[in-house]
């Protein structure tokens, strides 16, 4: 099947599910069309993303080779969509940056709640004895569904590119030991790791993610309770919601994360249970596919 035909079939399926109020759950279609979307992003946005999804085993070997052969240039970002491997269907995004002192940061953003721990475990064991490489694994915990982590990863990839300067600052803070690896009382979910493991593997969850990541990384959050915690955090720390709480432009102006959630709120029966959540990431799936198809049509 050609790339165009694949995208058309993908778009038709997404639209059909939307019309019938079904949650999209076809990982094979997501994986195949992700490769086409990555081509589009690299061609139009200078994303410098790896053109295919890599397993974490492939990724760690690739980074070691780049470091050994000095093929990662100073002040250069490389971005990746990473799969946990061994038939696992979990995905996360990585931003790799090297400074002029040959320090390399590998910063992951993972949309899940934290039960999928294979990626950061592999990172820890492969890089813990390499002094010029430091990893940071951020669970921002905005995903409740079983099937959207790849789309969240594509979304994060775009934001890593948009906020490249911010990731340089995270790189600096990581190597200057300014990032706190702690759990705080307002964390929305039961901790998946103990304190020692968090510090050793340099992992953070939502309570620290809201301090480390720009607001755009939270705009497709599927849980209203998560948005309320985000909202309360900014109120308690800044007295009021500042301009950074505004998520994106709409015809009537800019909307908050909570307004965005409400605009995409749906109620569906999933596994014989009524569930209410935001389907914003499903709209993102559609817009990414449509943009890639338009690019191919114009090429």
**Domains in the chain: boundaries:** 3-220+282-298
Percent of the chain at pLDDT exceeding 70: 92
Task: Output the pLDDT for position 88.
Answer: 87
For the cut 80, the answer to whether the pLDDT of residue 215 exceeds it is yes
User: With contact defined as beta carbons under 8 Å apart, do 158 and 47 qualify?
Assistant: yes
* Mean pLDDT across 27-52: 96
pLDDT digits (tens, 9 = 90+) for 120-137: 999 999 999 999 999 999
Task: Output the pLDDT for position 244.
Answer: 47
User: With contact defined as beta carbons under 8 Å apart, do 106 and 94 qualify?
Assistant: yes
When pLDDT is cut at 50, 70 and 90, the band that residue 242 belongs to is very low
Binning the chain into helix, strand and coil, the percentages to the nearest 5 are: 50, 20, 30
- pTM confidence score: 0.92
Can you tell me the distance from the alpha carbon of 226 to that of 160, in angstroms, rounded to the nearest whole number?
Answer: 22
* Mean pLDDT across 185-190: 66
pLDDT digits (tens, 9 = 90+) for 272-285: 888 899 999 999 99
Pick 244 or 191 by higher pLDDT.
Answer: 191
Kindly list the distances between the CA atom of residue 230 and the CA atoms of 184, 196, 234, 254, in Å, as whole numbers in the listed order: 13, 25, 7, 18
pLDDT digits (tens, 9 = 90+) for 139-154: 999 998 888 999 999 9
When pLDDT is cut at 50, 70 and 90, the band that residue 228 belongs to is confident
Q: Within its chain, how far is the Cα of 198 from the centroid?
A: 19
When pLDDT is cut at 50, 70 and 90, the band that residue 241 belongs to is very low
């Amino acid at each position: 099947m050609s790339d165009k035909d694949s995208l058309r079939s993908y778009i038709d399926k997404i639209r059909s599910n939307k019309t019938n109020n079904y949650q999209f759950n076809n990982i094979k279609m997501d994986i195949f069309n992700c490769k086409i979307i990555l081509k589009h992003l690299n061609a139009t946005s200078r994303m410098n993303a790896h053109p295919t999804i890599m397993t974490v085993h492939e990724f760690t070997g690739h980074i070691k080779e780049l470091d050994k052969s000095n093929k990662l240039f100073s002040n250069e970002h490389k971005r990746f969509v990473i799969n946990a491997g061994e038939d696992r269907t979990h995905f996360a995004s990585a931003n790799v940056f090297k400074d002029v002192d040959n320090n390399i940061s590998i910063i992951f953003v993972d949309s899940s709640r934290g039960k999928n721990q294979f990626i950061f475990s592999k990172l820890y064991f492969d890089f813990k004895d390499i002094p010029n490489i430091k990893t940071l694994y951020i669970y921002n915990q905005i995903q409740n569904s079983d099937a959207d982590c790849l789309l969240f990863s594509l979304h994060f990839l775009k934001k890593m590119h948009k906020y490249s300067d911010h990731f340089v600052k995270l790189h600096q803070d990581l190597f200057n030991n300014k990032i706190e690896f702690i759990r705080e009382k307002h964390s929305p979910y039961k901790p998946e790791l103990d304190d020692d493991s968090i510090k050793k593997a340099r992992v953070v969850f939502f309570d620290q993610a809201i301090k480390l990541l720009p607001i755009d990384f939270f705009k497709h959050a599927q849980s209203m309770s998560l948005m309320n915690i985000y909202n309360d955090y900014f109120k308690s720390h800044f007295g009021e919601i500042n301009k950074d709480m505004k998520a994106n432009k709409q015809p009537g102006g800019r909307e908050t994360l909570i307004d965005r959630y409400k605009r995409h709120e749906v109620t569906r029966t999933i596994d014989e249970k009524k569930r209410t959540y935001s389907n914003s990431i499903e709209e993102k799936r559609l817009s990414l596919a449509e943009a890639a198809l338009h690019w191919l049509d114009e090429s």
